[in-house]
């Protein structure tokens, strides 16, 4: 998300960046383009208008004696205003309450509420060690309760059974009792999707809210929503005392206009981003970092945090030790590396956060294709015997054929994987244990889809501490 808006804004601002003097005219020209860029990103019109007015006011009266040139000043003003739009810092969940702390989730149909409840429960359980229970008050959509139960079972959190012939408020009362009896820290309540213009269902959610008395009431919204995002957010905000917003499906190519508008209109912070369909695809929302992502300045902080959370440290240390001992990097290690990258949301998500990467202009999906190939590599390695993994030199014609059959691939794919592995092995030898991300990434030039891609020198510097 945000890349395309970023590209547009960067292109526009590039023109103005070099200007030594700013006239009202060239600011106006730039702002006209900024306006279109924001509108095409689905930022709502009233928000765009007030944004442009603010930037213009600040830009025209800009103090030229500062260390930045006027052009750079404008870029800075735009960034500051973007941060302002989205809220300055991350707002975490406030669960300081006599347990169970109740979280109520509401939103339009298809926003991703149930999936988000699962992700949130998983996050609270794993990262904060909370005892979590989930319950579904969606009595309308067939199998909605079943869906949440399946999710709850898969992440091993408590589920309070409900049924479609109960009333939503009764379900909530039951769930609260069950959570209390079960000594839960947190109870998350999923609700039915509803349109903000549906008076009766809006009344129902008010009653549900009253019964639940939640400490957090979160509005779940699809990041691809158009101009109507502000209208529905406002309606929900008026009906319920919302405490925050969760933006979902941010792994698509939506330009994130909804994110920019909703905060401005409701004044409620965006607390999380939902990314992808996997259960751990949820990330705290940091407005400052996202603003710099939009302007192509990268978001190394999030990348480092992700690396810390998701990379298996034990495995990484083991590998470092092994390499230090002078032992070779074998196919098992290679497979682990690929799996680690997958854990971090794949290359696409990593690249997204690196400074300068937004300017590479890779076709959408190019990276995705690469991940597909990497997954294939994992299948291929899985089809090898332990001995083959340790001594890849053994793998000749007959074995290759068997491995290709076993992994459902072609012999060419096996060859490709072996070649990539060999490149990686060479690189690892050079690194001699002191992992430098920059070197590793350069070595990946040999991977499919990268086409020997050149990375800007030093661009990866921020990731230097990553335990690869």
Partner 1 sequence: MTESNIPEQAEQPELAKKKPEAKKRSGFARFFSRDKDKIEQTPSEPVSVEEGLDKSRTSLMGKIGNVFKGSFDINDDLFDELEEVLITSDIGVEASLEIVEKLRERVKSDKIQDAPGVIAGLRAEIASVLSPAEQPWDVLHQRPYVMLMVGVNGVGKTTTTAKIAKQFRDQGKTVMLAAADTFRAAAVEQLQEWGRRMDIPVVAQAHGADAAAVAYDALNSAIVKGSQVLIIDTAGRLHTQSDLMEQLQKINRVLSNLDPSMPHEVMQILDAGTGQNALSQLEHFQKAVGVTSVCLTKLDGSAKGGLAISLTQKYGLPIRYIGVGEGYLDLKPFSAKEFSDALIPDISDQIGDKA
Min CB(313)–partner 1 separation in Å: 28
Residue 379, sorted as left (phi over 0), alpha (psi -120 to 50) or beta, turns out to be alpha
Q: Would you state the structure tokens that stand for residue 289, as one six-digit string?
A: 């970092």
Angle between helices 199-212 and 168-181 (to 10 degrees): 20
Q: Which is nearer to partner 1, 214 or 257 (CB)?
A: 257
Min CB(75)–partner 1 separation in Å: 23
Q: Which is nearer to partner 1, 226 or 465 (CB)?
A: 226
Q: Which is nearer to partner 1, 320 or 339 (CB)?
A: 339
Q: Which is nearer to partner 1, 365 or 445 (CB)?
A: 365
E strand residue ranges, 62-185? 101-107, 132-137, 158-160
Quickly tell me which residue has 């969940």 as its tokens: 93
What's the order of all strands across the beta sheet hosting 158-160? 158-160, 132-137, 186-191, 101-107, 216-222, 244-248, 270-274, 282-284
Helix (H, G, I), strand (E, B) or coil at 107: strand
Min CB(115)–partner 1 separation in Å: 5
Min CB(308)–partner 1 separation in Å: 26
Q: Which is nearer to partner 1, 199 or 432 (CB)?
A: 199
The count of other CB atoms within 10 Å of the CB of residue 147 is: 18
Q: Which is nearer to partner 1, 24 or 277 (CB)?
A: 277
Q: Which is nearer to partner 1, 263 or 389 (CB)?
A: 263
Min CB(51)–partner 1 separation in Å: 15
Dist CA 123 CA 116 (whole Å): 10
Beta carbons of 137 and 161 less than 8 angstroms apart? no
The footprint of partner 1 (CB under 8 A) covers: 36, 39-42, 44-45, 108-115, 138, 140-144, 146-151, 154, 165, 192-193, 195-200, 222, 224-229, 231-232, 249, 251-255, 257-258, 276-277, 364-365, 368-369, 371-372, 375
Min CB(72)–partner 1 separation in Å: 28
Min CB(183)–partner 1 separation in Å: 27
Rg for the chain, CA atoms, rounded: 25
Cα–Cα nearest to 189, from 238, 270, 139, 133: 133
Cα–Cα nearest to 436, from 410, 466, 411: 466
Cα–Cα nearest to 462, from 299, 286, 285: 299
Min CB(253)–partner 1 separation in Å: 5
Quickly tell me which residue has 């083959």 as its tokens: 388
Q: Which is nearer to partner 1, 62 or 105 (CB)?
A: 105
């Amino acid at each position: 998300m945000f890349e395309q808006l970023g590209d547009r804004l960067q292109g526009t601002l590039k023109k103005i960046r070099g200007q030594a003097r700013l006239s009202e005219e060239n600011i106006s020209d730039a702002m006209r383009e900024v306006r279109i860029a924001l509108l095409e990103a689905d930022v709502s019109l009233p928000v765009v208008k007030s944004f442009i007015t603010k930037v213009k006011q600040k830009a025209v009266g800009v103090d030229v004696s500062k260390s930045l040139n006027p052009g750079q000043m404008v870029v800075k003003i735009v960034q500051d205003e973007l941060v302002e739009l989205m809220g300055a810092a991350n707002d975490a969940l406030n669960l300081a309450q006599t347990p169970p702390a109740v979280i109520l989730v509401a939103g339009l149909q298809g926003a991703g509420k149930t999936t988000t409840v699962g992700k949130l429960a998983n996050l609270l359980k794993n990262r904060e060690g909370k005892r979590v229970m989930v319950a579904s008050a969606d009595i309308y959509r067939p199998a909605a309760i079943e869906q949440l139960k399946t999710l709850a079972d898969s992440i091993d959190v408590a589920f309070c059974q409900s049924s479609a012939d109960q009333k939503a408020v009764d379900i909530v009362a039951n769930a609260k009792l069950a959570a209390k009896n079960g000594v839960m820290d947190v109870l998350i309540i999923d609700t039915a999707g509803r349109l903000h213009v549906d008076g009766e269902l809006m009344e129902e959610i008010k009653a549900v809210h009253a019964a639940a008395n939640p400490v957090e009431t979160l509005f779940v919204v699809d990041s691809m929503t158009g101009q109507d995002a502000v209208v529905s957010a406002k309606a929900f905000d008026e009906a319920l005392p919302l405490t925050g917003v969760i933006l979902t499906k941010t792994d698509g190519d939506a330009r994130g206009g909804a994110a920019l508008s909703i905060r401005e209109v409701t004044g409620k912070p965006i607390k999380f981003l939902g990314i992808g369909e996997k259960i751990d695809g949820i990330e705290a929302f940091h407005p400052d970092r996202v603003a710099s992502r939009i302007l192509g300045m990268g978001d190394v902080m999030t990348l480092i945090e992700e690396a810390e959370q998701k990379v298996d440290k034990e495995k990484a240390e083991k590998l470092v030790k092994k390499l230090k001992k002078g032992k070779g990097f074998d196919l098992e290690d290679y497979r682990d590396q690929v799996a680690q990258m997958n854990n971090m949301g794949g290359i696409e998500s990593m690249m997204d956060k690196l400074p300068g990467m937004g300017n590479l202009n890779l076709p959408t999906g190019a990276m995705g294709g690469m991940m597909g190939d990497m997954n294939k590599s994992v299948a291929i390695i899985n089809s090898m015997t332990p001995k083959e993994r340790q001594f890849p030199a053994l793998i000749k014609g007959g074995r290759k054929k068997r491995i290709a059959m076993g992994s459902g691939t072609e012999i060419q794919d096996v060859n490709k994987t072996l070649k990539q592995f060999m490149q990686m092995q060479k690189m690892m030898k050079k690194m001699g244990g002191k992992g430098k991300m920059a070197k590793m990434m350069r070595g990946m030039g040999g991977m499919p889809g990268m086409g020997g891609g050149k990375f800007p020198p030093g661009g990866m510097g921020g990731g230097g501490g990553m335990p690869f």
